[in-house]
A and B are shown apart, each in its own frame.
Chain A
Amino acid sequence: MIGVGKIKQYSNVLDKPLSRGKQEVSLSAFAFLFSELVQYNQTQVDNIAELERRLEDAGYAVGARVLELLCHRDKGNRRETRLLGILSFVHSTVWKVLFGKVADSLEKGTEHEDEYMISEKELLVNRFISIPKDMGTFNCGAFVAGIVRGVLDGAGFPAVVTAHFVPMEGQQRPRTTILIKFAEEVLRREARFS
């Protein structure tokens, strides 16, 4: 019979429950969409720096939303107020939800107090992308750097976040490192509280 077993139709998104939704998204669909995003931005800019900035801004919007959603859904409404807390939140929870696994490593920078690095052997967004020689140090991981910056900025830990390739001996593809450099006020606040 027509109409029997029909799922409840919601008239407005505000009435729909905030469910977990499908846990999996097609990798090829995402890779295709991401490559189109990069290509579209390539036509809009004149130089590499501008392209990286646009990818970062796209990621920033994602980061701001991911922060709110995950704190509500997975963390039972607890906010992060400490530096290490928010870093391990990004390294574990955010990475798990976005990429299906926790990040490979989280390190503190040795030269500067305000630098931290999240490393990944093969960043999902870079998996199907190769950079031509004439693009120099451009890294599509700028999108993920934008996501991390969105999460940190939203939580009240402003930082400059960039993505870099780090060549590894014995491996053909370089490792990708997300470098996080926190602003002065974050360190001052941390010092006040510890």
Chain B
Amino acid sequence: MGSTACFIIVSRNDIPIYEAEVGSAIKKEEATHQHQFILHAALDIVQDLAWTTSAMFLKAVDRFNDLVVSVYVTAGHTRLMLLHDSRNEDGIRSFFQEVHELYIKILLNPLYLPGSRITSSHFDTKVRALARKYL
């Protein structure tokens, strides 16, 4: 039985710039929409929580049935959000830190407009590889 996990990166303006289903379980079609809905609903909570702490990793901020939303907020208020059913906190923290580094490298590209969609297929490959490694 695999694990469900949906990962999105939301920019400062609340626009998703990257999405990926990274769990190992077989996905049903409705599940994808539901995952995205849950993650968007958690954005309000993240907004308030982000200003109360100077840490980047916010751990679990919201729950839905047995799925947990964990969030990592970067300095530029870009939110890396993961919807998952596992409890492996250290793995999730390492996953977020590695994706954060990848995101910074994408951001440093002067031709990348901050807040626009990340279209690099290499980035996609690396994120999925990291998800397999840590989640």
Enumerate chain A interface residues (CB-CB to B < 8 A). 12-14, 16, 18, 61, 64-65, 67-72, 75, 77-81, 85, 154-156, 189, 193
Say whether B104 contacts A79, CB under 8 Å. Answer: no
Say whether B76 contacts A155, CB under 8 Å. Answer: yes
How far apart sit A154 and B109, CA to CA, in the bound complex (Å)? 17
Say whether B123 contacts A156, CB under 8 Å. Answer: no
Chain A residue at minimum C-beta to C-beta distance from B73: A79
How far apart sit A14 and B112, CA to CA, in the bound complex (Å)? 14
Q: Does B65 contact A (CB under 8 A)?
A: no
Report the minimum CB–CB distance from A149 to chain B (whole Å).
13
Say whether A156 contacts B114, CB under 8 Å. Answer: no
Report the minimum CB–CB distance from A24 to chain B (whole Å).
19
| Interface mask (B49-61 → A, CB under 8 Å = 1, otherwise 0) | 0111111100000
Q: Does B107 contact A (CB under 8 A)?
A: yes
How far apart sit A155 and B50, CA to CA, in the bound complex (Å)? 11
Report the minimum CB–CB distance from B134 to chain A (whole Å).
17
Report the minimum CB–CB distance from B104 to chain A (whole Å).
5
Report the minimum CB–CB distance from A77 to chain B (whole Å).
5
Say whether B51 contacts A72, CB under 8 Å. Answer: no
Enumerate chain B interface residues (CB-CB to A < 8 A). 12, 50-56, 73-78, 97, 100-110, 114, 120, 122-123, 126
Say whether A79 contacts B122, CB under 8 Å. Answer: no
Say whether B76 contacts A14, CB under 8 Å. Answer: no
How far apart sit A189 and B108, CA to CA, in the bound complex (Å)? 30
Using Cβ atoms and an 8 Å threshold, which residues of chain A touch B51?
A: 81, 156, 189, 193
Say whether A79 contacts B54, CB under 8 Å. Answer: yes
Report the minimum CB–CB distance from B110 to chain A (whole Å).
7
Of the listed residues B75, B103, B107, B109, the one surrounded by the most CB atoms of chain A closer than 10 A to its CB is B75
How far apart sit A108 and B108, CA to CA, in the bound complex (Å)? 32
Say whether B108 contacts A64, CB under 8 Å. Answer: no
Chain A residue at minimum C-beta to C-beta distance from B51: A81
Say whether B74 contacts A13, CB under 8 Å. Answer: no
Say whether A79 contacts B56, CB under 8 Å. Answer: yes
How far apart sit A81 and B107, CA to CA, in the bound complex (Å)? 22
Say whether A68 contacts B74, CB under 8 Å. Answer: yes
Say whether B107 contacts A68, CB under 8 Å. Answer: yes
In addition to A75-B75, A78-B56, 11 A-B residue pairs with Cβ atoms within 8 Å of each other are: A12-B122, A18-B105, A64-B107, A64-B114, A70-B75, A71-B74, A72-B100, A72-B101, A79-B55, A80-B54, A193-B51
How far apart sit A70 and B76, CA to CA, in the bound complex (Å)? 11
How far apart sit A65 and B51, CA to CA, in the bound complex (Å)? 21
* Cβ-neighbour of A69 out of B54, B56, B108 (below 8 A): B108
Using Cβ atoms and an 8 Å threshold, which residues of chain A touch B101?
A: 18, 72
Say whether A67 contacts B76, CB under 8 Å. Answer: yes
Report the minimum CB–CB distance from A188 to chain B (whole Å).
12
How far apart sit A137 and B107, CA to CA, in the bound complex (Å)? 34
Q: A13-B105, A14-B120, A154-B76 are in contact. Are A81 and B54 (CB under 8 A)?
A: yes
Say whether A72 contacts B104, CB under 8 Å. Answer: yes
Report the minimum CB–CB distance from B84 to chain A (whole Å).
21
